[in-house]
Amino acid sequence: MAIARTIPVAKWLATIERRLDVGCKSCNRAREQCGASSQNLLEETYGHIDSAFCDGMATTVTAAHHFIWRHLYASMQAAQAPASKLRFVRPDEESNMNTLWQEEEFKQICSRELLTKKAVEIEKQVSKKEHERERHDFDPKIFYENRFRNRRPDDIVINKNHQTLHILELKRSSNRNEDSSLLGVEEDEANEQHKSIIEVLKAAAPEWTFDQINFVAGRRSAVVEEDFYDKLERLRSTSRENGQDSGGACATHMRSA
């Protein structure tokens, strides 16, 4: 109900003067269950309870994200032509940039050592959040290495013959309308989230092409159809071997996916 926005939230009730305390009830319950303090609760807004920042809703919100992504991911794979050279790599919950670069397939793009060196250089340019300051001040180099190593995209698609790697990311939008108006802000946020990964990879393996393809789902878990097909087309354009088109059948597959 919270995700579907069919319940009134504290912030809205306060606006119509039906409630004074705007602290999040879900966060409060989650904190009570583990004996934590109920001081300094975040405001209970629709955006908050529909995010992983809400202690009480994080598990549900994450499950909703994974559910939508599983369906989109299956559609993307089904849309591939038989001759497609794309390899879809699905990081699990334990995966991150560190564990991926233990795999031979990734080490062939660039060595772990070079990746780490470039990661420290690029991560220095990414601003630190307040809660990161203590770890940074203890050992800045280790902090930057670890921050990069712990980054994890939703999915990765590789064509090693084409030397292309796509990072795929799903964002759930709190926009009320499931049309193109929901795309801009969420895409900007997704790009910012993985900017470091893209820049580090470009610096470590300049002969490869790296980019990010974002998918945005609205409140009712639907995507903008035209945008989804555009993204599939971007994948298709790098699915061929050495720039040779693998045939027009793929477009038909996509429309029926």
Question: Which residues of the chain form contacts with Zn ion (CB under 5 A)?
Answer: 24, 26-27, 54
- The distance of closest approach from Cβ of residue 115 to Zn ion in the complex, given in angstroms and rounded to an integer, is 36
**CB 88, CB 76: distance < 8 Å:** yes
Tell me the torsion sign for CA atoms 193, 196, 201, 202. Answer: positive
**CB 238, CB 86: distance < 8 Å:** yes
Residue 159 backbone phi and psi in degrees, to 5: -125, 100
In whole angstroms, give the CA distance from residue 158 to residue 115.
Answer: 17
- The distance of closest approach from Cβ of residue 218 to Zn ion in the complex, given in angstroms and rounded to an integer, is 22
- The distance of closest approach from Cβ of residue 103 to Zn ion in the complex, given in angstroms and rounded to an integer, is 37
- The distance of closest approach from Cβ of residue 228 to Zn ion in the complex, given in angstroms and rounded to an integer, is 31
Q: Is 108 exposed, middle or buried (0-12, 13-18, 19+ CB in 10 A)?
A: exposed
- Alpha carbon 257 to chain centroid distance? 23
- Residue closer to Zn ion (CB basis): 25 or 160: 25
- The distance of closest approach from Cβ of residue 47 to Zn ion in the complex, given in angstroms and rounded to an integer, is 11
- Residue closer to Zn ion (CB basis): 8 or 140: 8
Amino acid, res. 53: F
- Residue closer to Zn ion (CB basis): 24 or 170: 24
**CB 180, CB 165: distance < 8 Å:** no
Return the residue matching tokens 């990161």: 132
- Residue closer to Zn ion (CB basis): 33 or 150: 33
- Residue closer to Zn ion (CB basis): 3 or 86: 3
In whole angstroms, give the CA distance from residue 246 to residue 231.
Answer: 18
- The distance of closest approach from Cβ of residue 14 to Zn ion in the complex, given in angstroms and rounded to an integer, is 15
- The distance of closest approach from Cβ of residue 165 to Zn ion in the complex, given in angstroms and rounded to an integer, is 36
In whole angstroms, give the CA distance from residue 69 to residue 215.
Answer: 9
- Residue closer to Zn ion (CB basis): 42 or 126: 42
- Residue closer to Zn ion (CB basis): 58 or 257: 58
In whole angstroms, give the CA distance from residue 134 to residue 168.
Answer: 32
**CB 123, CB 202: distance < 8 Å:** no
